[in-house]
Amino acid sequence: MELINKSHLQTSDMAARHLLGCEIWRTLPSGEVLKARIVETESYNQDDPASHTFKGESPRNRAMFGESGHAYIYFTYGMHWCLNVTAGPKGYGAGALIRGAEPLEGIATMQSNRKLQMVIQLTNGPAKLTQALAIDKSLYEHDLTQPPLQIFEPRKREFGIIQTTRIGISQAVHKIARFYIKDNPFVSKK
């Protein structure tokens, strides 16, 4: 396994597609490493009315305007954290939301973090996976090639990719900017 190659994060669409099949490694303070494979993503950039960066840079979204390959983490609905991988050159607000993942290692700890036993529901949603992997604002703008939160490339990509419209937004609802691995049960919603 090799760390993610940031040359594949030049646009939010490229990032969203490239991240499919990649593994997220989360190293906890205890030393335990939780691993999950990304199976669903969505693309957002500053030319897109549905993106947090559409109206320009702000304290909340500044990570999206920074270097690619960093974490943009935001809090929403009063209780949920969501994780994005930033994309594009510095100064251009873009990134990919991680919407779904497949638990690989550290499942018992994820069950504990989620207060839930059913593996299929541990990380099949953007706020579910951050809770399972203990990701919050402390990792804001974190470089995703460094511990305690890293992304690795798969050796081979033997899966189909489905492209469709995004979920849970009210602007640009018809834009094709959601990507997921075909037939994977950990995709948040068909």
Footprint on this chain of DNA (rule: CB under 7 A): 42, 44, 50-53, 55, 58-61, 64, 72, 75-80, 82, 84, 95, 97, 99, 114, 116, 121, 125-128, 166-170, 188
Contact 99/110 with Cβ under 8 angstroms? no
Q: Provide the CA 149 distance to its chain's centre, in angstroms.
A: 12
Distances 103 to 5, 42, 119, 165 between C-alpha atoms, Å: 22, 19, 8, 25
Map tokens 């559409």 to a residue: 54
CB-nearer residue toward DNA: 21 or 95: 95
Q: What is the nearest approach in angstroms of DNA to the Cβ of residue 18?
A: 16
Q: What is the nearest approach in angstroms of DNA to the Cβ of residue 156?
A: 28
Q: What is the nearest approach in angstroms of DNA to the Cβ of residue 60?
A: 4
CB-nearer residue toward DNA: 44 or 92: 44
Map tokens 């492209």 to a residue: 163
CB-nearer residue toward DNA: 109 or 188: 188
For residue 165, give the DSSP letter.
E
CB-nearer residue toward DNA: 104 or 169: 169
CB-nearer residue toward DNA: 31 or 91: 91
Q: What is the nearest approach in angstroms of DNA to the Cβ of residue 155?
A: 28
First vs last C-alpha separation in the chain: 29
The residue among 14, 12, 20, 4 whose CA lies nearest residue 162 is 20
* CA 45-86-152 angle, 5° bins: 135
Q: What is the nearest approach in angstroms of DNA to the Cβ of residue 92?
A: 13
